[in-house]
Amino acid sequence: MKAVRIHEFGGPERVQVEDIPTPRLTAGKALVRVHAAAVNPVDWMVRERIYNPEGADRVPLTLGQDFAGVIEQIGPHSETSLRERDEVFGEVWGSFAQYALVPVEDLVLKPRSVDFVTAASIPMPAITAWQAIIDTAEAKPGMRFLIHGASGGVGSFAAQFAHWKGAQVLATASQPSFDYLRSIGVTTIIDYEHERFEDKVRDVDVVLDPIGGDVQARSWGVLKQGGMLINLIGELHEAAARKAGVVGVEFGMEYDTEDLDFIAKLVDRGIVKPHVTQVLPLEQAREALDLNQQNKSHGKIVLEVH
Ligand SMILES: NC(=O)c1ccc[n+]([C@@H]2O[C@H](COP(=O)([O-])OP(=O)(O)OC[C@H]3O[C@@H](n4cnc5c(N)ncnc54)[C@H](OP(=O)(O)O)[C@@H]3O)[C@@H](O)[C@H]2O)c1
């Protein structure tokens, strides 16, 4: 099968498309024919050896995590109601390939109303946004959210979940994303390339920060007393949170199939619309990773796998 691999951690030049044996089916796992796999920042962070949890810490390594596809075979001793030929999606290390071996308990039925490309764009960013906006911030009517990077993978789901719960959504983004953000109910958009959000926004209940650094430092002042900043990347400045009289949350998403199943239902009901902006063939995985790393996605990039 074709797979996007690295034999050494490092830059884009390490990424190769190779022919390797199809994984052998084992107990408790399903062999999934991958039809689409989405690019997340974690994929180039793994390649660069910035972030390498178990499963992504050794070479040779097949890159990729989010996928959508069809179950081809289910291994022995698998406790699941899923069947062969079911259309599924989820996360597994090594999704940039024609086949992936996935623990059956990590698979979720794909939303019926969308194609494989759209489904593949959902798992990591949508579960992250769900756990941040619904579980951590407890979005509800009357609340005001500032979502940084609202056109990106996490931000676009976060903005939609907060809006769905009746909260007001303010967002930072760059020009190419403005029409999209208006279409999902964002009331105030700040162009981070030309404006300073702290000059235009104040008294928000929650800041979602997938950018960090200077953006985090400038965000404390736009929160109400008792508000919350949810930090997705880099270090949280606890002392700054205390000084501002707000709660700083060091957030880590945990893969959860119940959350993903619920999100799939929201997608099927038309309440949440994934934001896919570019589709490339698997063979262009290196370019796709570069586009994301260079901040040129303006939404999700998905690899189509034939
Ligand atoms: N802690 C966790 O559990 C967790 C989970 C998932 C992701 N993350 C992290 O969260 C971050 C975002 O992930 P993602 O999947 O949403 O990435 P993404 O799809 O690449 O989106 C990033 C977005 O950030 C925007 N952006 C860039 N610079 C900005 C700035 N100075 N101010 C405001 N917005 C800016 C861009 O918006 P425009 O397109 O409008 O220019 C881009 O769409 C990554 O660092 C990822 O590793 C953490």
Q: What is the pLDDT along the chain (306 residues), one digit of tens a residue?
A: 999 999 999 999 999 999 999 999 999 999 999 999 999 999 999 999 999 999 999 999 999 999 999 999 999 999 999 999 999 999 999 999 999 999 999 999 999 999 999 999 999 999 999 999 999 999 999 999 999 999 999 999 999 999 999 999 999 999 999 999 999 999 999 999 999 999 999 999 999 999 999 999 999 999 999 999 999 999 999 999 999 999 999 999 999 999 999 999 999 999 999 999 999 999 999 999 999 999 999 999 999 999
- Please indicate whether residue 95, judged by its CB atom, sits closer than 6 Å to ligand 1: no
Dihedral angle of Cα 117, 119, 122, 127, to the nearest 10 degrees: -160
- Burial class of residue 223 in the structure, from the number of CB atoms within 10 Å of its CB (0-12 exposed, 13-18 middle, 19+ buried): buried
For the record, the structure tokens of 216 come out as 């985090």
Instruction: Give the number of C-alpha atoms closer than 13 A to the C-alpha of residue 213, restricted to the C-beta side.
Output: 2
Give the Cα separation of 59 and 262 in Å (integer): 35
Pocket test for ligand 1, best of 151, 236, 253 (most atoms within 8 A of CB): 151
Domains (range + CATH), the chain: 2-122+274-304 (3.90.180.10), 125-250 (3.40.50.720)
pTM of this structure? 0.98
Residue nearest to atom 29 of ligand 1 (CA): 149
Which one-letter DSSP state was computed for residue 237? -
- Please indicate whether residue 148, judged by its CB atom, sits closer than 6 Å to ligand 1: yes
- Give the CA distances from residue 154 to residues 31, 127, 157, 210, in Å, rounded to whole numbers and listed in that order: 28, 8, 6, 8
Cα–ligand 1 centroid distance for 43 (angstroms) = 13
Q: For the chain, percent helix, then strand, then coil, each to nearest 5?
A: 30, 30, 40
**Which ligand 1 atom is nearest residue 151's CA?**
43
